[in-house]
Structure 1
């Protein structure tokens, strides 16, 4: 997740480079989603959407633009 939510490091006159995003922000978001039963811990140590979480994401997505995107 830190690779996805990264930003550009501005170094004045030197060329810009990308830095990874903050791990604490991603961790807090996942903990909040886990508290709402939208995400659960995986056996491999990662996180995955629960069926309820997937249903909510699909509902929000179709309400936003009317089209459903299957390949995220």
Structure 2
């Protein structure tokens, strides 16, 4: 995962191809509304924080700890299923 991520970079990642009829297709960025609201919600619960130096948002220490714990339990459950 990248250190800092802004809404603009997520729009590029989630964008797709625009069908322009008989003209060749071109990439278009996705709407930023959903990405922005998700990032704001994660910021409210303390998973993300604003990066004042570079702009965008980055994951907090407690957020990284929570994600690591969730990943570990997921792997353990997957191993138990096999």
Relative to total residues, which structure has the larger helix share, 1 or 2?
2
Q: TM-score, normalised by structure 2?
A: 0.64
Relative to total residues, which structure has the larger strand share, 1 or 2?
1
User: Highest relative contact order (Cα 8 Å, sep 6+), 1 or 2?
Assistant: 2
Greater C-alpha radius of gyration? 2
Aligned length: 66
Q: Which runs of no fewer than 5 residues in structure 2 stay unpaired?
A: 1-9, 77-82
Question: Which residue number corresponds to residue 16 of structure 1?
Answer: 25
Q: TM-score, normalised by structure 1?
A: 0.71
Counterparts of 2:33 and 2:48, CA distance in 1: 17
Could you report, residue by residue, the CA deviation over 1:8-64 in whole angstroms, capped at 9, with x for unpaired residues?
Answer: 111222211110121222211110101111001112232110112112222344445
